[in-house]
Every structure is written in C-alpha cells, then in structure tokens.
Structure 1
Amino acid sequence: MKVNFTGRHVEVSSALKAQAQERLDKMASFLDDIIDVHVILSVEKHRHQAEVTLKTRASAFVASAESMDMYKSLSEAMDKLESQAHKHAAKKTSGRHEATPRKDLVAEEV
C-alpha cells in the first residue's frame, strides 16, 4: 500500500503521519486489496481540513472532515473512511442466498 501525504499551508508532522498510518493498517485487515492512499491536510485561517482518498482494485473511498484541530479532523475523516470500508466489506461478504423451495400449490381432489 502506497501512502502519499500532502500539506497545503501546513507542514505534515511525523505524528500526523503515524496516526494516519496506524488507522490505515487497521483497515488493511478487512480491505485486503488497498492500492493507493492519498491524505491531504490543509489549513485556511482557523479551519483545519483533512481529506483521505483510498483506492482499491474495485472501488475508491473518499472522506473529509473539518474542525479547529488537525488531529481531530484527521481522526474524523478516518472514522468516516472506516465506516465506508466496513459497509463495503459487509456487502462483499453477505451475497445472495438461495431461495427456499415453495410448496406446490396444487388443489386437492375431494
């Protein structure tokens, strides 16, 4: 899994990278085909925004969050991404079930 970090008007610290990497490692347990992850952290005045894009072979997930603290923004974005990934993994495993056989609706002769 390749992880890219981009900081817009902010220096991406090693603590932020470690926090994101830790959460992504947890997601790798149920999304086994992660190809690329792009984490964009930006600051505009007092708004700290985090956007995370995760690409797998079959689909792509995007989550973003905004708050007054960068760590909180990153955590919220990762929560959203994890929720999307869980939902996707559940859809993959649930599948369709075979229909139960119906009783023949034949009228009995009296």
Structure 2
Amino acid sequence: MNTSVRFKNLESSEALKNYVSDKLSRLDKYFNGPGEANVVLSIEKFRHSAEINISGDRLTIHGKEETEEMYAAIDMVLDKLEVQIKRNKQKNRAHRTKTKVEPTGNQGTHEGVGEPSTPPRVDVHPIEYKPMDVDEAIMQMDLISDNFLVFTNARTDMVNVLYRQKDGNYGLIQPRP
C-alpha cells in the first residue's frame, strides 16, 4: 500500500512512519489491487490526532481519532478503518450474491433502507384479438380455460378485457369513449 505520512505541529519521526506503515500493511489483505493511504498526524495542545484516508478497489474510507498518546490514536483509527472495510466488503459480497441468486426480479421483498432497488422485469406477450361481442367472448373463455381474454368489442369497436373472478363470475374492463 502506498503510504504518505504528514506531520502537523510535530517533528517528523521515522519511528512513527514505520509504525504507521507496519500497521497499514495488515489492511492490504482486504484490497485486490494497490491501495493508497494518506496519513496526517498532528498535535494540538494535549490532543494527539491521527487522520487516515484510504482509497483503493473503488472504495474510499476516512477515519480520525484523538487521544492523549499518538500510538494509541493510530491504533484506534486503524481498528475503526478495518471495521469499515470489512463492512463495505461484506455489503458488496451480499449484493453480488443477491443479484446472482435472484436475476429475474422479485427483489421488492428484500428492499431495505439505503439499498438501491432495481425495477421489476416485465415480460411482454403479444396477443391477437378479434372483434366479437361479450357473449361470444364468454364462450371463448370457457373453451380456452384462461383467466382473461382480450378482444375488440364489436359494438363499440374498442379493446375490452374479460376476466374470470375468484367466485366463478366474469368481469369486464371497458375503456370510456
């Protein structure tokens, strides 16, 4: 991992640079390609702060900690960054497996806050409809045993839909002229 260490209000120290580099090397296992880390170590009065920005694998993570000791601040911010990296990697892994398992939609039941939702897949079935009156359409429905029939009403010359209701009766959908 490419590491750049900057010091603010603090003398540059090889021991701190080596400590940060060694600690950041344990995060290399989470990245496939080369990562880049920008580290800023600063002191203000009695507060020692460590701020680290890591970018790599389409992931940018930021962490900052302040304590009374610099080494403790570095350890705490690295622990915090490791948790963030694991959480993002797990989220990406879960997202990839979800799309592999459910490629045909029906993902509306798994929607959560903050998750991107994909529109459901629409299957288009072209049908042929011919002019007939409602009585003839009912007879056709009995012959084909489908739950609906699309036809052109011979009286109004408009497209109608005849459907079978759960109680066995029929329903008719007619557009208004």
Shorter-chain TM-score range:
0.7 to 0.9
| Paired position in structure 2 for 1:91 | 91
In structure 2, the residue corresponding to 1:29 is in which secondary structure? helix
Q: How many residues align?
A: 100
Which is worse superposed, 50-59 or 17-26? 17-26
Compare relative contact order (CA 8 Å, sep 6+) and give the higher one, 1 or 2: 1
RMSD over aligned Cα atoms: 1.8
| Paired position in structure 2 for 1:43 | 43
TM-score, normalization by structure 1: 0.80
1:28 aligns with 2:31: no
Task: For structure 1, list consecutive stretches of 5 or more residues without a partner in the other structure.
Answer: 100-110
CA–CA separation in structure 2 for the residues paired with 1:21 and 1:92: 27
Cα deviation digits, residues 23-43 of structure 1 (max 9, x gap): 221111122234321000000
Alignment check: 8 A CA contact 1:34 1:54 kept: no
Cα deviation digits, residues 58-82 of structure 1 (max 9, x gap): 1210000000001111111111111
| Paired position in structure 2 for 1:2 | 2
* Identity %, equivalent residues: 25
Deviation at 1:98, TM superposition (A): 2.0
Amino acid at match of 2:21: Q
Larger Cα-atom Rg: 2
TM-score, normalization by structure 2: 0.52
Deviation at 1:16, TM superposition (A): 1.7
